[in-house]
Every structure is written in C-alpha cells, then in structure tokens.
Amino acid sequence: MNKKRVQIIMKSCNRRDLEMEQVRQYLEGNGYELSSNAEARQFETLDDEKVDTNADLIILSTCAFSSVTEESSLHDLQLIQSKKKPTAEIIVCGCLPEINPERLNAMFGGASFGPRGYDKLDTILNAETRYQDYRHSNRAASYAEDVFTIQIEQGCPCNCSYCAIKHSVGSLVSLPLEEAVAQFKNGLDKGYSRFVLMGDCSGGYGLDIGESLGTLLKRIAAFNGDFTVSLTDIASFHLQHCFEEIKLMCAQRRMPSLYVAVQSANNRILGLMKRQCDMSKVREMLLELKTLHPHIELVTSIIAGFPSETLEEFEETLEFCNAISFNTIYCHGYSARPNIVSESLPGKLAASEIEKRCIIAKGRLGSKIALVTIPGKGGTAYAGSRFKALYKRTTHKMSHLSWKIKEALSLS
Ligand code: SF4
Ligand code: SF4
C-alpha cells in the first residue's frame, strides 16, 4: 500500500521547531512519507511553488504574536487551500489557533491545536503509536546542523500586558534540572560543541520547580571541554537572577550570543507593560558583559508605539539600544491582539504614528535593526536589506523606505 504523503510548512519561530521535529519522527513512525519541508517563517510570504500538490496531508505551523505574523499565517493558509490537491487535508498548529481562534475558524474548518496540543494528532490521524512515545528533539531546523538545542522550558511565568503568546504557550513548565543537565551531557558525548538553551521564557527557567537558570548554567559551566552555550529569550527583569553565571560563561568566552528582550527602556512604559525593572542596572550588567566578552552577540527586541508612549519615551529606548550597542535588534510596532490587557489602556497611538516610530528606529539604529514589523495595511516587515509587504500586492520598494526614513527623521 502506498504511504500517505505529508508536508510540514513552518511559519512559526525556532521555539516551535523542536516540537515539529518530534512531529516528524512521529509521522514517520506512523507510516507517513515526509515530503520536502517548506519554510516561509513568520515574516515571509510562502512561495506558492513550494506547496506540495501531491501531499495527502499538510501541517501548517503558524505564528500570531503580532497582527503582522497573523496576517502572514492566514495569507499562507489561504494559499495552501488554493494550491493543495482537492482531497488533501490541512492541520493548523502553532500559536494562531490559541491566540485568535475566531479569525482562524472564519476561514478554516479543519483540525487545529496550539503548542500544548500535539497529542491531539493521535486522534486526528488515528495513529498507531502515540505522539508522547517519541523523544523531544535537540535538532532545530532554524539552526545549523552542528548546533545542539535544549528546550529547557515551555510556557511563561510572566504576564506582560501586551503579550498574546502567553495565551498560546500557557504557564511555565520547566525541564527537571537533572534532565536538562543530562541532555547537555548527551550532546557533549555525541561530539557537539555548540549549544543553545531555549524556551518560551528561558529566563524564568526553574521558577516552578525551585531551580533557576543560574543553577543550570553553573552545572553546565562545570563540564570540561571545548563548548559554547547561547541563550535565547531572557526578559530584562530576569537577567539579574542569572547574571553571575552568565558573567562566568562570558569570562570563559563560552557565550557567543545572548538575547535579552528589553521592549522599552522607559520606566513608566515598563510599568504599563508589567515588565518593571531597574533599567540602569540592566544597562550596567549588559555593558559589563560586553567588556568581559567584546565579541558576544547581544540581541534584543523593542516595541514602538506602546499605548500612551511619548516620542521622548521611545527615544529613551533607542538611546538605550545605542548605548549598549546591541548587535541585532528586532523592532515591532505595537500590535493589537485579542484579550491582551494593554488594549484597554488609554492613549492608543494612531497606526501612522506607530509606523513613524518604526521608521525612526530603522533610521537611528541602522544596520543593527534586523527586522521591523509594522501592523496595519496587511502588515509590513522589513528584514535585512529588503522592505516588503507581507501581501505581494502592496509591495514596497527600497526607495519608499529611504524616503520614509528621511521623512521621519526630519519630523522627529
Ligand atoms: S507566537 Fe511567539 S511562540 Fe508562537 S510561533 Fe510566534 S514567535 Fe513563536
Ligand atoms: S516574558 Fe515574554 S512570553 Fe512571557 S508574558 Fe512577557 S512577553 Fe509574553
């Protein structure tokens, strides 16, 4: 009997990659033939030629932390619906089904679930072996093949007022400390030397089990060998809890990359975001890390145009980014999301003002800005050297960006 053919299309982030690796093993174990992968990631438009028109099943992993990525996911879902063979089924997973089910259900009547619902596949596919019987993977498609990734936790213990991701990933569930250390040792034993510790909120690791990221880093630093460890998704208010151990790794030149999400450097806005922390201390800590390890890649993300934010308050964030000299900055225009607390705050800014601030950030922070997302008009994302709308029909040109930067800088 011919095997059923399945294609996985990734629109989600690297945190969902590891889970999809487990899905791949599960599908193969249940007799499916895997078609070529297709990736369009959160901010790109899926190339319609990449849709496998022979697939019997297409699994689309979506993203929806902002309206830009939601538009992008829905746009590609529509494309898949129009391109797939008529009998093919689609399953939608990733974060969109939990963040905006109404919007998804308006255009899609098939099976869907969020990041905590992969075991629903057992029933949907009437599978012989269960999803839970397959091992969580240490290989994420978005990293190089020689990188060993450890998902140290899922979910988040925080309640940032603008965040919709929490609705999707749920509360914090940390990997037991000994299990995380065992995974690291397993990677070392297999000959890996580049490690990434990742999670939905890695800085909160251990808070639910009486441990901390600092303790885990200390255990890892005690191993002998030639290895490096990069960290993703550390909220600025968690940095102080693992700073000494990060410092130790920086002093050993063992931390090539550290992603600390600041979102804003203004105290009033941080209070409204429910991310209050002493940014002068965060500044000191990050500068100390740079001094200890000048080649560390410091990565951050900022939000432009949070409700009631003044231009001066946004300028504080830009000044902070320049002072730290982050190597990579993601700038997201504030995006309305369903059921988030910040949507009920007074002083929401006009879409044009949010766009202006994104453009100012691009002008001020230059090549350090790896990505700008601007909600509205279907959503626009600027990445690397290109500025493009997520909908092909409204493609912006580089000249448009240059003009917009000049305009915004002269207005500010
Ligand atoms: S909503 Fe957040 S966690 Fe979910 S896929 Fe998008 S970036 Fe990843
Ligand atoms: S720390 Fe990140 S995932 Fe958690 S609530 Fe805040 S923005 Fe959301």
Give domain status of residue 319, yes or no.
Answer: yes
Give the Å distances, CA to CA, from 260 to 63, 325, 326, 387. Answer: 21, 13, 10, 25
Residue 95 beta carbon below 6 angstroms from any ligand 1 atom: yes
What digits encode the pLDDT tens for the residues 375-407? Answer: 876 566 666 544 444 433 333 333 344 444 444
Percentage of residues of the chain with pLDDT beyond 70: 89
Q: What is the pLDDT of residue 411?
A: 38
The mean pLDDT of the chain is 90
**Closest ligand (CA of 162):** 2
* Per-position DSSP letters for 370-400, written without gaps between them: EEEEE-STT-EEEETTEEEESSGGG---HHH
Cβ(74)–Cβ(103) below 8 Å = yes
Q: What is the pLDDT of residue 142?
A: 79
Residue 20 beta carbon below 6 angstroms from any ligand 1 atom: no
Q: What is the pLDDT of residue 382?
A: 67
The CA distance from 299 to 147, in Å, is 18
Give domain status of residue 139, yes or no.
Answer: no
Q: Check whether residue 192 and residue 293 sit in a common domain.
A: yes
CATH number at residue 52: 3.40.50.280
What is the whole-number distance in angstroms between the Cα of residue 63 and the centre of ligand 1? 5
User: Phi, psi (5° rounding) for residue 136?
Assistant: -65, 140
Q: What is the pLDDT of residue 141?
A: 79
Classify each residue of 366-381 as buried b or exposed e, where b means 16 or more C-beta atoms within 10 Å of its C-beta: eebbbbbbbbbeebbb
Residues written for the chain: 412
Q: Beta 328-333 vs 89-94: how paired, if at all?
A: unpaired
What digits encode the pLDDT tens for the residues 47-101? Answer: 888 899 999 999 999 999 999 889 889 989 999 999 999 999 999 999 999 999 9
Please compute the mean of the pLDDT values over residues 296-325 and round it to a whole number. 97
| pLDDT band of 41, cuts 50, 70, 90 | low
Percentage of residues of the chain with pLDDT beyond 90: 77
Q: Check whether residue 272 and residue 211 sit in a common domain.
A: yes
* Domain total of the chain: 2
Nearest CA to ligand 2 atom 2: 201
Pocket around ligand 2: residues whose beta carbon is below 6 Å from it?
A: 156, 158-160, 163, 165-166, 200-201, 235
| pLDDT band of 15, cuts 50, 70, 90 | confident
In the DSSP assignment, the letter for residue 288 is: H
Q: Check whether residue 404 and residue 277 sit in a common domain.
A: yes
Cβ(172)–Cβ(155) below 8 Å = yes
Atom of ligand 2 nearest to the CA of 204: 1
Residue 68 beta carbon below 6 angstroms from any ligand 1 atom: no
Q: Domain span at residue 25?
A: 4-133
Q: What is the pLDDT of residue 409?
A: 42
Q: Check whether residue 46 and residue 90 sit in a common domain.
A: yes
Give domain status of residue 138, yes or no.
Answer: no
